[in-house]
Structure 1
Amino acid sequence: MFNFLKYFLIVLTLVLQSCGSSGGGSGSGLTQPTNLNAVAGDKLVNLSWNKVSGVDSYNVYHSTSNITSLSGLSKINTNTLAKTILNLTNNTKYYFVVTAVKGDTEGAPSAVVDATPIVVLHKPLITNLPAKHLILNSSITAFAFNNTGGTATSCNVLSSLPNGLSVTLANGSCQISGTPTTLQNTTTYTITATNAAGDDTATISISVDLDTPKNLIATEDNASVGLTWDAVSGATGYQVYYAKQSFDGISNDNLSSHASSNGGSLLQNITDNNKTVTNLTNNTRYYFVVTAVKGDTEGAPSAVVDATPIVVLHKPLIANLPAKHLILNSSITAFAFNNTGGTATSCNALSSLPNGLSVTLANGSCQISGTPTTLQNTTTYTITAVNAIGNDTATISISVDLDTPKNLTATEGNASVGLTWDAVSGATGYQVYYAKQSFDGISNDNLSSHASSNGGSLLQNITDNNKTVTNLTNNTRYYFVVTAVKGDTEGAPSAVVDATPIVVLHKPLIANLPAKHLILNSSITAFAFNNTGGTATSCNVFGSLPNGLSVTLANGSCQISGTPTTLRNTTTYTIAAVNAIGDDTATISISVDLDMPKNLIATKGNISVNLTWDAVSGAIGYQVYYAKQSFSGISDNLSNYASLNGGSLLQNITDNNKTIANLTNGTKYYFVVTATKNTFESSGSDEVTATPQIPIKMLNDTGITLGGDYPSSNNSTCTGVEISAQDCSHGRDARAAAGTLTKVGGGKAGFDFTKLGSTGNVLAIQNVTWAAGGAGTESAGTKWSCVKDNYTGLVWEVKTDDGSKDDDTTDNTHTNIHHKGNHYRWGGKTASGRNHADKRGTYYNDWTGLVDGTNTENLCGGNNWRVPTLEELHSIADLSTVKPAIDTHYFPNFLSTATYYFWSTSPIVNNPGYAWRLDHDGSDDDGGRDRNNYVRLVRSE
């Protein structure tokens, strides 16, 4: 293959030789340098060439582009046969030529060579570190391994370093840092520094020891020396060595033998960072060192300190004592003043202590002892402790009071309570306080007022240690306290006792209870038999109560409680109440029936009515009664249903819903449902009504009354391009604009709305706006509860703005249910598919409280309120406006939110986690059932 580069270089050389350069040329007679060689390095290139005979020096030229002329190139002169070109850019190709120079003459250039500087990677070369002796729990200054090789990219250690230490990469080498947290004998570790070119190892020996105790201080005392030092982190104890010769130069291993052989010793098992060394010889110098220990490990010794025990006499230093409340004529345990100074040799009180008490010298300090024999209000006394050096004083406050009466006992009698208590030494009398509320927490000063304001009193001038309190009310609990008195002094009250006066025990006298009609599986509120006789101690029943019920003793009489779990026709039971005197019986008649179906809802259809109701616990079926007149006249005897106009009965219904077909449109029907199980039938549900009718077109028109003028914009009227094909030219909106649409009520474009009051009454004033904050009234037309769509026949709930929203619609407590701010997760009552056995996805119960509450209040005269379908929500959407796309004159109280989704009753068929909802910009989409959206209820008349 043709070597183009070689050919190019030969040609270039010939050209340069023929053209010459500054200071020389082909006629200079100087030979061009040969064998120019370029070796790339890190930001440099090393050049070398053959010697040209007879020259003075050489010029070196280089460029980042191929050299065709020497003009303008950088030139370096050298008198050697090699040159290193520095400060080049790595990874950039450079071109080089060399010329020979003699005097002012420069010869022809050499052949051109090139080279590209690069970073040359070497493996790391790290050196061993000297041994490191570390201190437990002391952070170290990181020590790095010197790296004279290539930059390391990672580091590791061949065995685990002491806990708390780690090897890391730093500045292209390895370092060890951290805080050692475990003791460690000297161990050698191998550290490896690595990069792409290879690795290198180095070693370091590490030991982790306990620190030496710092700041050891010795304080001289009488035949003793007190030592203190700084606590050592991690140490579990300390050892003190002392001797009469210094420990300087003594190794750790010889500390103990040095101490024992020089009049000292080793003190072990010291847990605090202080120790008083006793039994020393005064006026003899002792030397001390301390070591820290943990387990079997002992640290290095502290610095040596010395001290000479001496006899030091100080004046006493006594501390105040807390107040003492003494009991008259009761011997006290002596209380001593703590003396931290010199030994006292005498004590005195600056004023007379209460009779019977005295201050005496004891154990080098002062103490007070004796038996106080006179009452004394709180008085502060000053005590002086004295020795040859000086004196010191301290204070104590002392009061002497009457003792509290002990062992107060209350014995119940007929309208009376007898009290006894232990006599109080020194007392001349007693006072009894009693009340119907406990005296716990009542201060001395308030005992009398507490008694008088709680059905009791104060009894005074009692000289004996007993009292019978009379004229009390039987079967009422009373509380009693007693105080001792002497002159004007009253002691603290006794412990509180209570007693309930009673009459002589009689047998129980219980009265019959009226018949009870219970509901199967519904917990009952216990019903008790009134007992006007003696307290019953046991109860029983003659014959078994219905399963789930039991008779028990409660408040001295008998009661029946529980949850009946079997149906039972009316049965009379005899209950016996018993005590030690005798017994008495009473009767009660009990039936257990199925609950009546609740929340019956009737939805009209075309010659049909669909009924739904809450399932009844324990029922196995249902019966539907319906007629063309109300059941109110025979509600207690539904078996006479045939006597009503069109009266009929449907039986053997197993689900809690039923569609009744073949009815007459335009005829009002009345419906009642009962639950059944075998031969039992519940009472009838609340009556509901519905009038079947041919379905009315559900969707209103769009509300759009303007035309588009493509491609410009929308017009303000029904004009524009191909206007006859546009929405505004057709339907109810077009007829309303033309004045040919007859309406029952009002509303924009083709909508026909009527405002209704809370009972379903048509408001007399329809054209007034809503008064905010609940300030409006129906009579003024500024408040309404519902809106009837006169075209679709649907009646819609109106949201309110007074009061606060229900902050938690997920619980079973529902407040302000119509508030505009209430939002719900999807799936409550009337949600499509909710009652199906094979329903898919989660049905949350949040809006059930809204549905039940609205039906219970019979809002606008209806109790068949439900969540609307998606199509029904679309029927009130006004697409001529946005956010909200609805007539706010009839549907006020929208929140200012970016989106305002209202749930429909419709789930998403192919995604059980979603359901349909309508945004009041007029669009619908699928939303996760766990999202919080709004609900507006609807009903059909």
Structure 2
Amino acid sequence: MNRKSFSLLLVFALLLQMFFVTGVSQAATLLPAPGYVSDSNVTSTTIPLTWGYVNGADLYAIRVNGSNIYLSNTTSYTITGLTPNTTYTVEVSGVAPNQQGWQTWSAPKVIKTAYPAPTGLYIARANGTSAQLKWNSVAPGALYMVKINGQISNFMTDQTEITVTGLTPNTPYTLSVCAMPLGNGYIGDPANVSLTTGLAAPTGLQVTGTTDKTATLAWNAVPNASWYHLFVNGNLTASTDTTTYTLQNLTAQTSYTIQVAATTNAPSTYIGDLSTTVTATTKAPAPVGPATPANLKTTANESSITLTWDAAAGADSYKVYQNGALVTTVSGTSYTFANLGANKTYTLGVASYDSVAGKESAAATVSALTAPFAPSDLTATTTENSLTLSWAPVVGATSYKVSLNGTTVNTTADTSYTFTGLNADTLYTVGVSSVNAGGTSTLATIKATTAKVVLPKLFLDTPVDVSLPAGKSQSFIFTPSTTGLHRIYTGPYGGTGGSNDTVLELYADAAMTQQIASNDDFNGTPFSQISANLTAGVSYYVKLRTYSSDVALNARLTVSNEITVGSTPISLNKPIDFDVATGSSKVFSFAATTTGVHNIYTDYYAGTSSSGASDTVLYVYSDEAMTSLVASNDDFNGTFSKVSPTLTAGKTYYIKVVGYNSGSVHARLAVTL
């Protein structure tokens, strides 16, 4: 069956053929050229055009470079698929398809597309207040402009690199580079790169003490800082998570210039601005005999403790002790005590040793607690968008760290945790570790798959009656076949029931965490309505509930294309010729004067088959909100539509006409007895 209407291009071609064949005088039927043709927001591949209205024109032709022709039924059009940095000549003409006539082209307008986005954009280096950008050349002689968070800045260059200054420390930025010609022309497409600037420079840097081999420094904390990096004589030398640090293994009686910069733990953070410079001068060599180790730190799990310390002056090795007993001698500044009991306290010590002089320092000690045992008896229960992990209590644990796919997400004192906002039908690895004051146990894990989402489907212009007990809601999935404005609304159950105070919610995800829109009361009624632009082929999720949780739900739910044209009155035996654009609809109102069967149908435009057949769909409603469907029809004896409902005198009915599969319509509507 033929379901395709004649395209505008075919109509235009037929009109041109008619003009050539008839040979009508151009002077008698000539349409004037559009009064102006203007362009704006030109990109590297598109040219948006607007022009003046031409009286008598039903169509407009757009000619590009004297040959390629595009058609528009409005006074605007966007030419797409163009080549960047290329000059095009554009002309526009009005066309009257229903009359004999010829087209008059506007004056040629020369437009050059913008440059494409620069390639290879990256951040060469950055700190707390500046970032250096580099990129590949777009074209010889091109200028480049920098946008900061989408706003045009004063940073411009004719080179392929630039340093953006005046940024705020510890702040996320999106930096864009656009190319543009040296003279007049449009700004080209942006290439984007994101960064978070480094932290502000630490203040108060000072030398608090020196020996013949060390220099101890202190500074003020920087907000949000996780690490501090020390630069000695301009070179990055050490890092620490505290606001003090002792530089080791320095040369006696030597001056060093020192600066400090801060960073966060974020993976994309740059080192912040450098502090002011201080100078530390080491002392003469210390007397013979190693210094006692300092800055002892421990990290533990359930079976081991790692002890670390700063290197001690005069020491070439270290002796480590457990509960006062010598364990071993090491050359480094760390040692791991193994085979320990879980959740137990140990006294650990370390002494510096000079093997040449045969002297040992006093031992520095620290009390350390091992972590509890790792959790056991892990179980997982799932829903469509959540996973609950449970485990047996662990002796000595004060809290538990829970992880999702290897990343720690939270800490809890309970023996269960619910991960929310998950995707349906997805495998996850969840884990938990025990925590006490001493440390964190190894991670115990389990795999689980969330439940599948099985929701009833909504279809365009197909009402669904919903009846639910109090406190319950119903969710649906709707996948539009066309892109455009859609109306989702409630009405009386069965189309004739009483009112029900409903609430509608529209989401972009099955987990229903990304809400697009919601509505309680619409247009002074307790029913609800949402109008939203939806994308063809994308699934959306609709949730229906009552306003009050103690009231049962009885309502009708409908999805339709948004009405873009107001209702047009139609009378008995007085057909109306009309057009409907692709993806749109047209609504007519009919006031019945007699009670009985009425024939409502579509036919050829102007009553002639030469106008072409349109594949139409008819809907007849008994209410203006179009929630109570009386009758509907797709094909009747061909591609046109016909319904024969019994109408009541004195009542107004609403007739909605759409193209099949959201196509365009060029047809006639009639109502007869």
Would you call these one fold, judging by a TM-score over 0.5?
A: no
Relative contact order, higher structure (CA 8 A, sep 6+): 2
Which has the larger share of strand?
Answer: 2
TM-score w.r.t. length of structure 2? 0.25
Larger Rg: 1
